[in-house]
């Protein structure tokens, strides 16, 4: 599949780009800064022995069937407003957690209750939003030899988009569960501060979650 990673120069986005390229997908790393995206893409491509392209977020989206949004929450709305025309007709996987630094281990509910709900409101019907990938450690993603001991919870109001996204997420080497309507992103996003709280207790090790009994 042709995948755009919006904000692909960040740690989490870079880790996904790496694993998807490794799994045989065509990956386009986007950034507000084209030169930075090109450099990051070249470095990631070299690390994985595959061709990864880089450029502006607009070019990355234009070249893709499915896009992943991996930017800090402070840039979330502005990035989506800018890319809204380019994203029409594509699926968006939103991995954003609405953290409020420096209090990153306490739940912060944004005005729209969840970043993914805010994304869907900005993008409208032309772009179904899937919320997912909020709990997987960037460090683990970037290490291809690391078996990721964390399940992914994914939700959307569009079942076709959800299936497409879940299939792609499984190619990262994780189990992925359909946890219902996009509104349930409130639960997925707000769980991340709790895991960050636990990470601190673990002195830097990254905790994750698993669904049992399924």
CB–CB of 132/161 below 8 Å? Answer: no
Least spacing, CB of residue 189 vs its own copies, in Å: 9
Least spacing, CB of residue 46 vs its own copies, in Å: 29
**Which CB sits closer to its own copies, 101 or 210?**
210
* 130-162: b (≥16 Cβ within 10 Å) or e: bbbbbbbbbebbbeeeeebebbbbbbbbbeebb
Least spacing, CB of residue 204 vs its own copies, in Å: 11
Strand order in the sheet with 53-56: 53-56, 26-31, 2-6, 66-69, 91-94, 129-131, 152-156, 176-178
**Which CB sits closer to its own copies, 11 or 197?**
197
**Which CB sits closer to its own copies, 49 or 210?**
210
The values of phi and psi at residue 23, to 5°, are: -85, 0
Least spacing, CB of residue 67 vs its own copies, in Å: 24
Q: Using CB under 8 A, list all residues that contact its own copies.
A: 105-107, 109, 113, 149-150, 153, 155, 177-181, 183-184, 186-188, 190-191, 193-194, 197-198, 201-202, 205-214
**Which CB sits closer to its own copies, 35 or 109?**
109
Q: How far apart are CA 67 and CA 163, in angstroms?
A: 14
């Amino acid at each position: 599949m042709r995948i755009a990673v919006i904000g692909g120069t960040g740690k989490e986005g870079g880790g996904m780009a790496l694993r998807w390229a490794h799994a045989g997908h065509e990956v386009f790393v986007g950034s507000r800064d084209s030169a930075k995206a090109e450099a990051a893409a070249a470095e990631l491509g070299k690390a994985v022995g595959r061709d990864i392209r880089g450029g502006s977020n607009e070019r990355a989206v234009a070249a893709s069937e499915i896009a992943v949004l991996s930017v800090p929450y402070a840039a979330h709305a502005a990035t989506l407003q800018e890319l809204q025309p380019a994203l029409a007709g594509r699926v968006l996987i939103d991995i954003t957690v609405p953290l409020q630094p420096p209090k990153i281990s306490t739940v912060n509910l944004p005005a729209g209750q969840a970043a993914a709900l805010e994304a869907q409101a900005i993008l409208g019907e032309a772009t179904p939003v899937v919320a997912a990938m909020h709990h997987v450690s960037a460090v683990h993603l970037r290490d291809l030899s690391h078996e990721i001991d964390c399940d992914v919870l994914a939700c959307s109001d569009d079942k076709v988009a959800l299936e497409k996204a879940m299939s792609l997420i499984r190619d990262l080497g994780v189990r992925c569960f359909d946890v219902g309507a996009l509104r349930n992103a409130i639960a997925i996003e707000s769980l991340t501060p709790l895991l960050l709280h636990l990470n601190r207790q673990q002195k830097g090790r990254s905790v994750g979650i698993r669904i049992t009994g399924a």
